[in-house]
Structure 1
């Protein structure tokens, strides 16, 4: 005599499984949108898979960070990349441990041997916010090598206030011919820096909730504010420069992103003391020096000056203002909805002692730089077109040199 039974899923069990699958898919897409491909014990960092710039050519590699399945108190992170044009490996290795769960307080250490764009400023808190595609990187050619040892503390002071403090020692070696004239008239070509940084990311109008993965922003509110102070100490761990920098950024959005809305971005910075060009400011230029408009055809950045040529201006104090108005998407079909964006940008800046920077020529922004134009985004597979015109105090004598015509690329998960 045989006995057997069949167990059929009831609707409640099916609904539970379906809901669980939906949660898993949502979490996977969220991780992907944050730049990670999740696996069991670590997440692959997609930022290092492949990039391109004018100095390294194709830059490709692998990066990873451990996840909660590995440990909720400790983490390891690392990457290694190779530039085919400069024929050199770059890498970073680091780790951290959590000292307070409620405030998401971590102490991190790292060792990095890599490149950084000259004149660029990185906010410490920005590393938590992933940008899927960085088109401006394609055209950058002015880099400096740096070997940096750092220790940092990240701390959620309030749900709306994210902080990070870093102490770092760096060896800096520009990849281009450059010298800085110090007060004793000695010209320094490569140098050591010992720096302390404090960064604050304040989102007073955002909404947050506590989850098993920590504090999560459930609704983005605007404006958002970022402030960072940097101090370089002379004669500390062989540091040769004493300077300070104060950097500020605010982003404000007005309207509904699913309809029509406007976005305002204000960025400013000031450097005091003996500051090498590597740590000065550019104004996010994104135009390559070629003869015709079509030879300069490339990919437009997200918040860059499309008609400003690379290495055209450097400043020790500057401010940029960018206004974008996103017109309501054209509802051509359910999946095909191109969008027109009207753009205007303004930059102003100056440099106190440009003669201290040897073997490089650049201009001043003290008269104010202006460009305006428009984008038509999402025409085909996320690609669109951008058209920008340069006018005002820095209008060029050759009429066509004032135009920038480029691709745009927008993708969201």
Structure 2
């Protein structure tokens, strides 16, 4: 009997050792995106993957296959690898089912319809009269030390002579030791969120950023994930995506009922959603829907691609108000299927490539984590906000809170790496002068180099065009070290070819720092391109060169005295108003016939008003003025110009209206689509110098190779200089930019497809004498491809013109140019 017990125990041990529970995951072969709720069968077991594509199976015979099936993919038989600790099954999409779609079942569809119909009853901004809460937010760039190997690798470096040199690579070891002591980067802020009849307002109460005495305003304005889940669009990593619980979202996503469960005593449906195109890297997630009022009680969002993004929302049930109110937001960003250096927010946060230096074990373990938690919530109490149209207010006092303040706010006392991070990165920032580099970078980005109390204008140093030849100059403006109340801008230049000096001076007085309001006087004696389209509110950006004027030879001299006012007084707008008198001398063969007079030289007195309106952008109010922090589109620009006859000796009277719409669409995949609609109208008599040439950029030469020059950004590359002029026109441009294409190591061009068109007319054409040109009544069309940043910022562009103004000789319709894009890392 005793021996039988021993025999039975041995037999049971053998059976148990033959059985083992193994974890696995099912992913798409091409994109590595997990496949949720796929059916996994093994022997007599059938399980389904969860929303992360993971599953668990009891394996008792390793020679038997695991069978996986999912609509849109080929069925897969997967055999276990000997000794494999984890099962990874890659499924190949079925091309024959590419047009097939997975539809939402009727029951789940009915629930989603009620969620959308009841948004106004569940969104706090729609239900509550007012609310107010403080919010503690922390952002970390860090890594888990336990996930990093301490192995020191042996690598071989080639030498010119002799055998390769063997060296030890301790990058992973050093990286692990670093993240055991501190985070790689961190920031914290406390803000006050207020809502009333005027909308939602954020006031920063405290902020600090490792390495900086004062936090960067750009960071304080980052909106990495949306506060509300009920708006039509969601913000994830500063990219706008379609909300799945919107009317259009129901058409883009397929929804699957997973189960029902209980949260805070209330029954909720757990519903999974994914794009109808299965291998898309669009949004996926889980929604927890209250079964009674169809509100969101919890949500998980995930995006797979160059970065893997995980966003979590939790809500707290408030019985008194019958609403789920935000409790916590969490964002986790890790490096995805990408072997390149990855920069987020213009290089503020960067994930190194696993090809260089750290190899995969270290750099790919880095992640960004943001946590945001409300406290001191007050509902339906009196809430008063200052300047509600300004979304974020940053008082100067918020940037200098003592350490004691932060110790109260830091409820996570288990994180011992926080304080060493501030100490070590502060010393690193001091040693490397990071703040000074960012200050310098901001200046250069706007075209200036700070030299004490004076900012040198980098664009004034050297220029070239066919009229002036090489233009040498010196200019700039005083900065706040000189005075915070006034500034003086000036330049002087000399053209080697036209042998003439040009100069400009403009003193300005600060009227109001909060609204960036300035009053200025100026006097200019210089030359300008004819037919140029300029908006007074257009922001200045640095370019090493301005490519178009290089090949222009038709300029006019103007001596202009003006007085003007600039301001951001009205929220979300840039305002300009000015009056000027100009004495014009065309530097080409031209006369205007005005009755019995032929005007070869003339005077203009004009009043100009302009407004740049960015209704969808968000603005921040700081002690130094207003900043556009979240640039949203479309943007609108309107400019009105009125010329007065006989006023101050003026020769012309006309009205001019210029209008432009800019629109950009950014995608989570990294691609981007842009549109520009622009129009100009002149009423009355106006000289050719102040009409429209619509930015041509092509030399009138016979051979294609002789026309190779530098491409512009939004110019018509196949239109010859001075070929077309209009007194009224409308133009349209569309551009789609794809992700960078890796051709070779460090050769990753950015490819864009572009199309442009323009229509125009010319009134009083017979009055413009001595100058030959055509008009655009039938429409001008061109399309092409830009391969930018092919090598060291240089690229190539290829365009062709077609339509009514296509030329008889095929080669004359083509344009081949060199492009250059300077990446300053901002």
Q: TM-score range by the shorter chain?
A: over 0.9
Candidates 428, 431, 434, aligned match of 1:18: 428
Matches within 5 A, 1:157-306: 157-182=569-594, 184-256=595-667, 259-306=670-717
> 1:393 corresponds to which residue?
804
Do 2:524 and 2:561's aligned partners in 1 also have CA atoms closer than 8 Å? yes
Residues 1:72 and 2:484 are matched in the alignment: yes
For residues 258 and 201 of structure 1, do their structure 2 counterparts lie closer, same or farther at Cα, with a shift above 3 Å needed?
farther
Could you tell me how far 1:388 is from its partner in structure 2? Answer: 0.5
In 1, Cα distance between equivalents of 2:422 and 2:675: 48
**Distance change >3 Å, CA 296–CA 188, structure 1 → 2:** same
Contact 2:576/2:609, CA 8 A, preserved across alignment: yes
Cα deviation, 1:161-182, whole Å, max 9, x if unaligned, reads 0101010010000001110011
Query: In the aligned structure 1, how far is the partner of 2:571 from the partner of 2:543?
Result: 22
Q: SS at the partner of 1:345?
A: strand
Q: Secondary structure at the match of 2:426?
A: helix
- Tell which deviates more after alignment, 335-344 or 385-394: 335-344
Distance 2:797 2:541 in 1: 25
Q: Distance in 2 between matches of 1:11 and 1:317?
A: 60
Gaps of 5+ in 2: 1-419
| Residues 216/204 of structure 1: CA separation in 2 closer, same or farther (3 Å cut) | same
Select 2:719's aligned residue among 308, 313, 316: 308
Find 2:530's aligned residue among 118, 128, 131: 118
Once residues 674 and 787 of structure 2 are traced to their aligned partners in structure 1, the CA distance between those partners, rounded to angstroms, is 16
Q: TM-score, normalised by structure 2?
A: 0.48
Q: Which has the higher contact order (CA 8 A, sep 6+)?
A: 1
TM-score between the two structures when normalised by the length of structure 1: 0.94
Distance 1:131 1:204 in 2: 28
CA deviations over 1:378-406 (Å, ceiling 9, x no partner): 11111100110010000101111100001
Residues 33, 132 of structure 1: 8 Å contact kept: no
Aligned to 1:4: none
The match for 1:348 is: 759
Per the TM alignment, residue 337 of structure 1 is displaced from its structure 2 partner at its CA by: 2.1
Q: CA deviation at 1:331?
A: 3.6
Instruction: Render the CA deviation track for 1:113-170: whole Å, top value 9, x for unaligned.
Output: 0011111121111254545542112111111000000000011123310101010010
The Cα of 1:208 is off from its aligned counterpart by: 2.0
Q: Is structure 2 residue 447 aligned with structure 1 residue 35?
A: yes
Shift of 1:333: 6.7
Task: Looking at secondary structure, tell me which structure has more strand per residue.
Answer: 1
Partner deviation per Cα, 1:186-223 (whole Å, 9 max, x = no partner): 11000011000001011112222133432122222111
Distance 2:497 2:538 in 1: 28
Secondary structure of 2:723 counterpart: coil
Q: For 1:325, which of 731, 736, 742 is the aligned residue?
A: 736
Q: Structure 1 unaligned runs (5+)?
A: 1-9
Change (3 A) 1:139 1:257: farther
Quickly say closer, same or farther: Cα 1:111–1:72, change in 2 above 3 A: same
Whether the 8 Å contact between 2:514 and 2:623 is mirrored in structure 1 is no
**Aligned partners of 2:436 and 2:623: how far apart in 1?**
15
How far did 1:271 drift? 0.4
| Equivalent residue runs for 1:91-102 within 5 Å | 91-102=503-514
User: More helix per residue: 1 or 2?
Assistant: 2
Look up the match of 1:378. Answer: 789
- Residue of structure 1 equivalent to 2:153: none
Rg comparison, structure with higher value = 2
In 2, distance between residues paired with 1:288 and 1:57? 16
* Alpha-carbon spacing, 1:77–1:17, altered in 2? closer, same or farther (3 Å): farther
Choose from 470, 493, 497 the match for 1:85. Answer: 497
CA distance in structure 2 between the aligned counterparts of 1:165 and 1:258, rounded to whole angstroms: 41
Aligned residue-pair number: 403
For residues 347-393 of structure 1, the C-alpha deviation after alignment (integer angstroms, 9 at most, x for no partner) is 10010111100000100100000011101111111110011001000
Contact 2:567 2:576 in 1 (8 A): yes
Is 1:57 the counterpart of 2:469? The answer is yes
Q: 1:299 to 1:128 in 2, by over 3 A?
A: closer
- Counterpart Cα distance in 2 of 1:393 and 1:108: 46
Counterpart for residue 338 of structure 1: 749
Cα RMSD, aligned residues only: 1.7
What's the CA shift for 1:336? Answer: 3.6
